[in-house]
Structure formats: structure tokens, C-alpha cells
Amino acid sequence: MKLLQGSYNEGSEEDTIYFYGTKTRYGEFSNFYRSLITIDGIAYETSEHYFQCMKFYPSDEHMELVRLAKSPGIAARLGRSRKNPLRKDWEEVKDDLMYQAIYAKFTQNEELKQILQETGDKYLVEHTKKDFYWADGGTGEGKNMLGIQLMKLRDELKKL
């Protein structure tokens, strides 16, 4: 199932919200932002914990190690490590799994849901040179998939 059908065109500078990290304005949009989520009856400290866990599905041992990481940064490091085998279908499922993570985050926490909805129709951009897939690559040349997924979710929440 592809969740990201549709088009989100970049807005003008004044119609764009840039975010990165948890200590800046709109830091709540970061996957490192501490907001407990529950998916399939399992609690995760952050959406980053969930996303990184899913890289090792169905290996309960590896998933639990990541789930219990003391911080989202440690969970990310464990998830990026190739000491443990990455699930074979990762490239096919990663977008849907990220959407599940942010859906849980913004529907299970009313305050976060309101912050996302209050962005109106602004274009959302995870702005960092550290990531060309989930963010804009720092130059705008990245795919900004997290920003696109947040806008998709925002549109879905309008329908609820």
C-alpha cells in the first residue's frame, strides 16, 4: 500500500516551515521528540524508536534492544548499525512504517496534533544536510519525505 500518492509542491519562503532537532520551533515534528507512542500494543519512547525497531522485524531480540534504547539517538545508532541483518523488504516498507509512526505520534497526543494542524497549508521541510531522503539535504535537493508525510497526515487529520 502506497500512502504517499499526491503532490506537495514547495511553497514560497514565507509559506514554508523548516524544522530540525527537538529544541527549536516545531521541534515536535522531529522523530527524536519525546512522545510515547503505542503501536500493536507495544510502547515506544519516540517515533524514532519505533522506526528503527522495524528495520529488524521479525527479530524480537534486535527489535527489543532498539526499543529499550535510552535515547532516540542511541536507537538511531542501533538501527543504522549493520551488525544485525536489515529486513529484506526495508526499502519497500520504510515509507509506510514512518507514516505509521507519525500517525501514532500525532493522533495519540492531542497537543502535538494541534501543533501540526495549526501549520495550516504551509509546506513542511525537515532541514538538515545530514539526510537527503527524509530531509531536504540542507540544500533543498533532498526528497524531504518526512515533511511530505507530515503534510499528508495533516491533510488526513482534516478529514477526521
Please compute the mean of the pLDDT values over residues 47-69 and round it to a whole number. 96
pLDDT band, very low/low/confident/very high, at 14 (cuts 50, 70, 90): confident
Concatenated DSSP letters of 57-98: TT-HHHHHHHHT-SSHHHHHHHHH-SSSPPPTTHHHHHHHHH
Average pLDDT, the chain: 93
> What nine digits make up the cell of 37?
507512542
φ, ψ (nearest 5 deg) of residue 123 = -80, 125
Asked if residue 49 has pLDDT above 60, the reply is yes
> Three-state SS for 37?
strand
> What nine digits make up the cell of 13?
519562503
Cβ-proximal residues to 56 (8 Å cutoff; 6+ apart), any chain: 62, 63, 66, 79, 84, 85, 86, 87
pLDDT of residue 93: 98
Query: Minimal CA–CA distance to 102: which of 28, 43, 41?
Result: 28
Asked if residue 7 has pLDDT above 80, the reply is no
pLDDT digits (tens, 9 = 90+) for 123-155: 999 999 999 999 999 999 999 999 999 999 999
Asked if residue 19 has pLDDT above 50, the reply is yes
pLDDT digits (tens, 9 = 90+) for 84-125: 899 999 999 999 999 999 999 999 999 999 999 999 999 999
pLDDT band, very low/low/confident/very high, at 10 (cuts 50, 70, 90): low
